[in-house]
Amino acid sequence: MAQHLRTNPKENTGGSTSASQPCSLCNISQEEVLAEFQRWKLVRTKTMKGHRERLMLFHRDHVRTLDEGSIGEAYLLLMKAGSNFFSYANEWAIFEPVYATVPDHWHRVASDLDEKAQDYGQILKTPRIIIDNTDGTISRVYPDNKTLGPSNKAS
């Protein structure tokens, strides 16, 4: 069952956080945008945390929750962009927003899986989708190191 895009006006506040502070994602300058889509923007994260590349895809509108179709669209766009930006890496990942610094604006972060990165310990604690650039498999990984189901080849 799909959720409505704006299910709760208190959750989707139109450009400000719950504390009435301006949303940092809504205020990203156009010069920082790497790619734009109908409803999405792709940027490098402000902090690279020791990664060669670290990307964020966020919704153009200040929304906290999305319907299932929109989430699927976001992941597909990020996977497509990531296959180009992370072509240097054997594997890279899209992370669930467990440690998000802007929880009130829907976004996802993707990065390589460099063990020397400053946030590698945090990566291991975060549910993530791992994309393997060599064989095209996609795996869902949880913090307890369990992989959900068999990996499937990406088409």
- For the segment 83-101, what is each residue's pLDDT rounded down to a tens digit? 999 999 999 999 999 999 9
- Alpha-carbon dihedral of residues 106, 90, 154, 141, nearest 10 degrees? -60
pLDDT, tens only, 104-138 = 999 999 999 999 999 999 999 999 999 999 998 99
Beta bridge partners of 107: 58
Domains of the chain: 30-153 (3.30.428.10)
User: What is the pTM assigned to this prediction?
Assistant: 0.81
Give the CA distances from residue 145 to residues 31, 73, 109, 124, 140, in Å, rounded to whole numbers and listed in that order: 38, 27, 20, 8, 10
pLDDT, tens only, 47-60 = 999 999 999 999 99
Which two structure tokens, joined as six digits, stand for 105? Answer: 């604006």
| pLDDT at site 146 | 62
